[in-house]
Amino acid sequence: MPKRYPQAVLVSCELPWDEHQRLMEDAFRAQVRTTLESFNHLYIFGTAGEGYAVTLSQFREVAEVFWEETDRPDVHPMVGVIAMSTAQVVERIAAAYQIGFRMFQITLPPWSALSDNETITFFKDVCGSFPDAQFLHYNTAHSKRVLLTEDYQRIEAVVPNLVATKFESASPGETRKLVTQTELQHFLGEGNFPWGCLHGECSLLAFTAPLSPARALAFFELGLTGRIAELFQLADEIDSVVEALYRPVADLPLVDGAYDKILARASGVEMPLRMLSPYEGCDIPTYEACVASLRKAHPEWLE
């Protein structure tokens, strides 16, 4: 089925905070520039990027810096918006739209699970407020409702500028239906991207890309060229890498972004492990244990 958005590798950029919870602008710019060396579809303010925690002024500050670094003809920057109501989502999109962005990642309001009618209303009101923009739905359990193929079929019928999803947790069966029965471009994680490639066109949300950009691009290329056996083999390796890196924190109740900052720092970028209040990040000794665990299991990933 023809898709509304092109295939791509999508990569998240995390936010470095100083001891006073202020953006470390130079470190953030350096991270974005490093990402742009290998990828041209990148975003800010997912759950890993603490989009749920920033104030409106912080949102504008980060978005302005991100735009300065990504305002190029060959780059496709995306801004995530996580908020409690349609009005709040529209307000933040309007701020980023004014800066220059036209691609947005949105989540359902998380206070309570939306009904079918409320879900349609949310997408029509948000996406319809910016008809010349495009939208990706971040399909996460944090929003209290995970959408399935039948939900997306209803939404895409009435919301023409919803063009993509980010759906790492889709099962193999659900992935098949998403790829074959909707017009949306589905950005799948390293775990379910191979299953999507069995059935048609899909895209990659590359969680481990900062650690090894070359492997992320090779992983995507295996899917594009239909080398499925090699694709599943590399997916198993990536799963082993992630398990090894996070083995020392497996029993800690960390918020999403804490794990991403561990990985970003392990990739060599200047990334403090601090999270915005009230959430706790990983401490340095535990981080060093994570790196040591990865080095023992997969030293080639830290070369």
Domain CATH for 180: 3.20.20.70
> In this structure, are strands 203-205 and 9-12 parallel, antiparallel, or unpaired?
parallel
**Which structure tokens are listed for 105?**
């990642």
What pLDDT score was predicted for residue 303? 81
Backbone angles phi, psi at 132, to 5 degrees: -95, 5
pTM of the prediction? 0.96
In this prediction, residue 134 carries a pLDDT of 98
User: Would residue 218 count as lying in a domain?
Assistant: yes
Is 186 a member of any domain?
Answer: yes
What pLDDT does 104 receive? 98
One-letter amino acid at 95 equals A
DSSP for residue 104: E
* Domain assignment of residue 110, given as a range: 9-225
Q: Per DSSP, what are the bridge partners of residue 51?
A: none
Single-letter amino acid, residue 222: L
Residue 259 lies in a domain: no
The answer to whether position 258 is within a domain reads no
Kindly state whether residue 201 falls inside one of the protein's structural domains. yes
CA distance 74 to 21: 32
Confidence (pLDDT) at 1: 76
Task: With respect to residue 299, please indicate whether it lies within any of the assigned structural domains.
Answer: no
Looking at the domain assignment, is residue 73 inside a domain? yes
**Do the Cβ atoms of 34 and 244 come closer than 8 Å?**
no
Rounded Cα distance between 23 and 158, Å, is 39
Positions in the chain whose pLDDT score sits under 50: none
DSSP state of 23: B
pLDDT for 60: 98
φ, ψ for residue 73, nearest 5 deg: -60, -30
Pairing verdict, β 162-166 and 185-188: parallel
Share in percent of the chain as helix, strand, coil (round to 5): 50, 10, 40
State residue 223's pLDDT score: 97
**Total domain count, the chain:** 1
In a domain, 296, yes or no: no
Placement of tokens 């309007």 in the chain = 94
**Residue 180, phi then psi, degrees to nearest 5:** -95, -15
From residue 139, alpha-carbon distances to 47, 132, 135, 169 in Å are 11, 22, 12, 9
